[in-house]
Chain A
Amino acid sequence: EDQVTQSPEALRLQEGESSSLNCSYTVSGLRGLFWYRQDPGKGPEFLFTLYSAGEEKEKERLKATLTKKESFLHITAPKPEDSATYLCAVKWGSQGNLIFGKGTKLSVKP
């Protein structure tokens, strides 16, 4: 059973069409939930860390929220340059590493 599940696998939006990406997790003792952006041919690039339910973080057109079992990445009025794969990861217990979901591939058409 996957510990981190992202949905949808792929999302196609028109420029300006707002939407949300979901990340659900089954681990207990969450120490942090991380969002990364990955462009083709590059390594994941850090976006946000959320630590407790109710927390929200914003950066430009992106807003990340966290509940006890899932996180959402809201994209408001996206632009073509927002096209990328968005990865969610969790850190829990005494683990020093991150466990990643498989990602959501976002395409924004002009």
Chain B
Amino acid sequence: DAGVIQSPRHEVTEMGQEVTLRCKPISGHDYLFWYRQTMMRGLELLIYFNNNVPIDDSGMPEDRFSAKMPNASFSTLKIQPSEPRDSAVYFCASSSPPGRMSSGANVLTFGAGSRLTVL
């Protein structure tokens, strides 16, 4: 398996532009997570899905952020309009269903991240 695949790896855009980040989770994983990482705040959960359904979006900063998961193999995180304070590395992660504690389930596998710079 190629792991969690994110695109683009780097994005530089101007304030006010729309940004779309993409993620392909590991096949068979039915949990998908979007995190944002900054020096000041570390890794913060934005939203997560289970079986393509958003479960918790309380970490989404504001209405400018939206996320979709139209099928089990694809998710997008959209920022419209973008602002300089949105500059960060955005990570997508996936995991298999929570199972027995000792089964190795619950482990999140992360993609390489998308570094966003908003000028």
Contact = CB atoms under 8 A, between A and B. Distances in A.
Dominant secondary structure of chain B at its interface with chain A: strand
B110 A43 contact: yes
B43 A100 contact: yes
Contacts of B106: 31-32, 34, 49, 91
Interface stretch (B65-73, B74-82, B96-104): B96-104
The interface size bin for chain A is: 20 to 34
Contacts of B44: 100
Given A51-B102, A96-B50, A42 B112 contact: yes
The interface size bin for chain B is: 20 to 34
A45 interface: yes
Interface of B: 4, 31, 33, 35, 41-45, 48, 50, 55-56, 91, 93, 98, 101-102, 104, 106-113
26 contacts: A31-B101, A32-B101, A32-B106, A34-B106, A34-B107, A34-B108, A42-B112, A42-B113, A43-B4, A43-B93, A44-B108, A44-B110, A46-B109, A87-B43, A95-B56, A96-B31, A96-B50, A96-B56, A96-B98, A97-B45, A97-B48, A97-B56, A100-B35, A100-B42, A100-B43, A101-B42
Interface of A: 31-32, 34, 36, 41-46, 49, 51, 87, 89, 91, 95-103
